[in-house]
Amino acid sequence: MNSVARKIAGQSRPQLKLASSWSASLRGSIVRRPYATVKIDLPALDRKWRRTLKRSERSEEDASLLRVESRGTTLSTDHAQSADNRMYILSMFPYPSGNLHLGHLRVYTIADVVARFRRLQGYNVLLPMGWDAFGLPAENAAIEHGIDPAVWTRDNIARMKEQLESMNGSFDWSREFATCDPSFYKHTQKIFLLLYKNGLVSRKKATVNWDPVDNTVLANEQVDSEGRSWRSGAKIEQRELEQWFFHITNFKESLLRDLKKLGKDDAWPERVLALQRTWLGRTDGAYYEFPVNSKDEKFQTQKLKIYTTRPETIYAAQFIALSPHSPLVQQLAQEDAELRAFVERVKDLSPDTTEGYLIPQLKVTNPLAFTKDATEAHREPIPLYVAPYVRGDYETGAIMGVPAHDARDYAFWQTHNPDTPLKYAVAPTADASTLVDMRGPYLGEGYMTITAGQLQAMPSDVAAKHIVSQIKDASNLAEGITKWRIRDWLVSRQRYWGTPIPIIHCPACGPQPVPDDQLPVQLPKVHAHWENGRVGNPLESATDWVYTSCPKCHGHAKRDTDTMDTFVDSSWYYMRFPDPHNSEAPISEAAARRYLPVDIYVGGVEHAILHLLYARFVYKAVMGILYPRVGARNEESEHVTSLLEFSGEPFKRLITQGMVHGKTYTDPDSGRFLKPDEVGLSNPSQPKVVASGKIATVTFEKMSKSKHNGVDPTKFIAKYGSDATRAHILFQAPISEILNWDEWAISGITRWLRRVYNIVLNVQIPEKTSSAGFDAQIYFDTSQRTIPEMSKKEAAQWDADVEVWRTTQNTIASVTNALEKVYLLNTTVSSLMGLTNTLIDKPLSSDTVKYEATLRLIQMMAPITPAFAEECWSILKPNSGSVFAQGECSWPVPDGSLRLLESKGVDCAVKINGTLRFVASIPTKPADMADNSPEFQEWITEEILKTEVAQARMRTLNVDIRSAVKVFVVKGGAVVNYVMPKEKKEG
């Protein structure tokens, strides 16, 4: 009998010996209570297990110190571990503003949950944390409060670190740094000089974007579409200054090329890739020259040069428009009083005005007129207008008006020639049949129309090159050209709180790099500047710091008084975490080989352009120079012959989470935002305005002080506990979508945790457990053979066991799939709730199966609710150590027993708009498909439609469930409700 039990249990797994402090903390911690009176204090559990973890960490630190003393360094042992077993997970590090907000909590919860899951799978996970500490807010606060920005920053870091620790994160604080640490920005300066040495940095005079509020220069990327600063909101001024630039444009081809690699297998969101493509802005356009037609001899030899990004639309050109600032317009206005008055009047008109002035004495000729296939239509003179919507500072100050393919041109043409039909050069389809009903411009690519002659039906992007070539060969009036939107990265800032630029300016020798042994160039103390509340850059007046000697001729020289854009710090910080104490280099080759690139990077989509583009550039440049065979971590890197061929990327996978919106209450009469004490919440579903008693209007909006909808996550955690808060964050919305924060909805989470705790306290724990694990295949195979001999009671237990274990196995598969894909994290909680319900609904299942299923439930909950899982684990497996015990691969995996537990199918109750319409018999859900995932919703819909009853009812009801706007699947497919779109009323 004992031998059979051992076979059923399976082979034993080696156990890691834990520090005695851990097991000591567990003794006496098991409190058994009757089911009905069980209570659980989640905030108290947080405190208990944080204390236990700290004691364990101290024991590990003591052991680590002994290893360091015996071996001399920890770096070699760290790097000796297999790179195949490592995983580097990183969340975008925070700016230390002083307060953690829910956006922080969401991103760090996602990263921590994934890191804990991977550790349980046996990976050696690096999950570090640091601080993006330089920047204008600290300097502005220093001026306002009269304190050193370093003091303000350090105080904020201490406060935010305490807040972060309250969320039960598993961050590796031993690697912590702030970008304002001299030991960090020493290497920021080294990177600057590395790029400088390799011709990727230069100083030149340039017209720059000056922020008059923050008194500093901004990069083009930091100015919004309205010409305002991304931070202060001030209207930007143009100034000419000597500035430092990183030559990111040298890498434009590789930055665009390697987006294809990042798009494979959805490694990066398509939205981010599209934003990067747009910002890089490659366009294959052309310059055309339109000869001027005039009786006046002084204009007869002139040609109007225009630039277009749609060369193929020249067949549809119906006018040429000049900017009022065009030199030709200024020349004509000298002799045309009416034009002169028009130019003066339109100065104050909005850029989208459709006003215009027709120049009667001038027309132009389409360059197509000089090609061999030219028609009479191509030779017709084209009118010439002056149009304020044409910018004088863009290209040549003249545009080719194509109203059939440009919205602005169309609006202008409709104002001045509403009865003239449009000429379409491009159609959505090759036969141009779609143009019959076209009313307005067609803006997309497509196929050439009959107006293009021999090029008719050719794809428009292909035709563009043919057209330019034909015109160039015939008359030299066309020139194809590739342009890019991206410009070199301006990194100079005229502020104090940033990394000093490591350059010395010598009157005799010119700019000289600071010698390596003199790095870092540290910021000087300028207490008087802050105490007196002065504005401007204090480095310019710090004479003891500014005046120095030239490292080349040793004559009198001055330090550069600019500091670097803070985006320079965040462009490389991820390289530092693997090797944070290296004093010689930003990162060693050994650390780079082991950790880079980052496996999973988590952060907001708002950083899709600036931070991510700069990080990609710096990684390609720095790793391509220092360690070209390491940075890409693929075979391509072995054959790189040019820096610009280096294809390495810093982040293998990018996860972007949505924003968190707060519940916002407004007065239904005035629309005024209500403060918390102005809303009565005795019935949360019907909040009332205290003053009037009326039902308040409830919306979810971006959190702000003016809307009184902010939430302090530390207070929330103190009230509900970190674990409930973490589960609530994941459960409320898919990762990529906006999370509408509703405090009252957390009651469902806390109720679930209480139910799980009740299961744990009431499950029968084996008095003596075998060192071997539970072997479900042997257990169910053995029991299955005895089914004919079972009593009614035994058969009921068998059925319950099968249902519990089948649900357990399906849950393992779906939760694992969701955690691996990350974007499906919200489904993990619902899947775990489903397993919880099964354990409660099947009280007849055997003690063994209940216990084993409960163990796996707790293991799967552990990444999401770590403190709660530790408490439950200590009850289920007393004195066995942490559920996260290092060195163990303890994440549950499907055990192959499902083949013994297969059900014939599921009777699925199909509802349409909440009304039960029919019941369809469908197969059981595939094990590897996550509950409530889009993939599962599509699968169950198709399986339903395969049934005869569904096909008949669809015809009767005249509906197609594939067109549902929402699909709700309950209990793994037992019930599915399709919400159909509302029918439009006629008339």
CB proximity list for 337: less than 8 A, separation 6 or greater = none
> Do β-strands 510-513 and 357-364 pair in parallel, antiparallel, or remain unpaired?
unpaired
Q: Are 386 and 329 a contacting pair, CB within 8 Å?
A: yes
| Distance of alpha carbon 851 from alpha carbon 666, whole angstroms | 50
Burial of 422 (0-12, 13-18, 19+ CB in 10 A): buried
Would you state the pLDDT for residue 741? 86
Would you state the pLDDT for residue 298? 75
| Distance of alpha carbon 968 from alpha carbon 940, whole angstroms | 11
DSSP 3-state of 694: coil
702, 270, 627, 595 alpha-carbon torsion, rounded to 10° = 60
595-to-127, 129, 584 alpha-carbon distances in Å: 11, 15, 18
Q: Are 737 and 830 a contacting pair, CB within 8 Å?
A: no
- Alpha carbons within 13 angstroms on the beta-carbon side of residue 586 total 26
Cis status of the peptide bond prior to 212, with omega within 30 of 0 = no
Look-up of token digits 């299955």? 784
Q: Are 590 and 79 a contacting pair, CB within 8 Å?
A: yes
> Do β-strands 906-912 and 975-979 pair in parallel, antiparallel, or remain unpaired?
parallel
881-to-19, 41, 57, 889 alpha-carbon distances in Å: 9, 22, 14, 14
| Distance of alpha carbon 975 from alpha carbon 972, whole angstroms | 8
CA-nearest of 151, 199, 130 to 572 is 130
DSSP 3-state of 285: strand
DSSP 3-state of 18: coil
Would you state the pLDDT for residue 769? 63
497, 499, 501, 502 alpha-carbon torsion, rounded to 10° = 130
Would you state the pLDDT for residue 853? 95
**Residue 87, strand partner residues:** 125
CB proximity list for 842: less than 8 A, separation 6 or greater = 800, 803, 804
Binned average pLDDT, 10 residues per bin, the chain of 987 residues: 35 32 36 50 90 68 44 38 79 89 92 96 94 88 86 93 91 96 97 97 87 76 78 82 93 95 93 94 95 81 92 96 92 91 86 90 94 91 94 89 96 94 92 80 93 92 94 95 93 92 96 96 90 80 94 95 95 97 95 95 88 96 91 52 84 93 87 87 86 88 79 89 94 88 88 95 80 77 77 86 92 93 90 94 92 95 95 89 77 86 80 89 77 84 90 86 89 86 61
Helix %, strand %, coil % of the chain (to 5): 45, 20, 35
Q: Are 325 and 390 a contacting pair, CB within 8 Å?
A: no
Burial of 59 (0-12, 13-18, 19+ CB in 10 A): middle
Look-up of token digits 């790029």? 195
| Distance of alpha carbon 381 from alpha carbon 317, whole angstroms | 11
Single-letter code of the amino acid located at 125: V
Q: Are 601 and 654 a contacting pair, CB within 8 Å?
A: yes
In the DSSP assignment, the letter for residue 181 is S
Q: Which DSSP helix (H) or strand (E) runs through 155?
A: helix 149-165
In DSSP notation, 41-79 reads: -HHHHHHHHHHHHHHHHHHHHHHHHHHHHHHS-SHHHHH
| Distance of alpha carbon 919 from alpha carbon 125, whole angstroms | 47
Look-up of token digits 């694992």? 816
290-to-242, 307, 320, 384, 405 alpha-carbon distances in Å: 39, 11, 9, 11, 19
Q: Which DSSP helix (H) or strand (E) runs through 24?
A: helix 20-26
**Residue 243, strand partner residues:** 204
Name the phi and psi angles at 125, rounded to 5.
Answer: -95, 135
